[in-house]
Amino acid sequence: MIFMARKKKRKLSKKRERANYKIPLVTLLILIFLSFVTLAIIDLIDVSGYVEANVLEISGTTIIVGNNCTAIIAETSPERAYSIDLGIRGIIEERPNTHDTFIAAMKSFNITLESIQIENFNGRYYSASLFLMSDNKVSKIDTKPSDAIALALRMNSPIYINKTLLEEVGKNIC
């Protein structure tokens, strides 16, 4: 009986040893898989033809967004300008505004804002897109650039401007 019990203990300990080797291997395989998924997601958000931009200034209802010495100067509503300013300063007021509420909802559903793109100008309005990700699925959502900027600032997400748009509409600000 004692011999059988020792034999079973040895078998159990060998199984545990094999299991201990499998854990790092499984972890490594998961990390490799996730890196491929991440690369695939990056490919879904095409930023070729775009430059990364910064909100350079908010003055009243005027937003200046650009790259280096070239910027788009656009007007927005006082509420959106104020929300962008709060986003720049990283402030959430005592009661959250619409952009803060939207970000809270996104976070509660594990949705990330991967980036925004300011895409074109039709002579009257600028258009932009949000790139949201959830469960490895990327969704492109049409939005106003001022709303997109306010959200990107709160989520520390990159802001991109179409290069052609920046060349055609942008002003030299240096």
Dihedral sign from CA coordinates of 99, 103, 109, 111: positive
Percentage of the chain with pLDDT > 90? 61
Distance from chain centroid for Cα 17: 41
pLDDT in tens, 74-95: 999 999 999 999 999 988 888 9
Q: What's the pTM value of the predicted model, to 2 decimals?
A: 0.74
In the structure, what pLDDT confidence band is assigned to residue 35 with cuts at 50, 70 and 90?
A: low
* Arithmetic mean of pLDDT, 10-14: 54
Is pLDDT at 30 greater than 80 in this prediction? Answer: no
Q: What is the mean pLDDT of residues 83-111?
A: 92
Give me the helices (H) in the chain, please: 2-44, 78-89, 98-108, 145-155, 163-169
Mind listing the pLDDT tens digit for each residue in 140-172? 999 999 999 999 999 999 999 999 999 999 999
Query: Which residues 6+ apart lie within 8 Å of 44 measured at CB?
Result: 138
Q: In the structure, what pLDDT confidence band is assigned to residue 45 with cuts at 50, 70 and 90?
A: confident
pLDDT-derived band at 47 (thresholds 50, 70, 90) equals confident
Contact 55, 45 (CB under 8 A): no
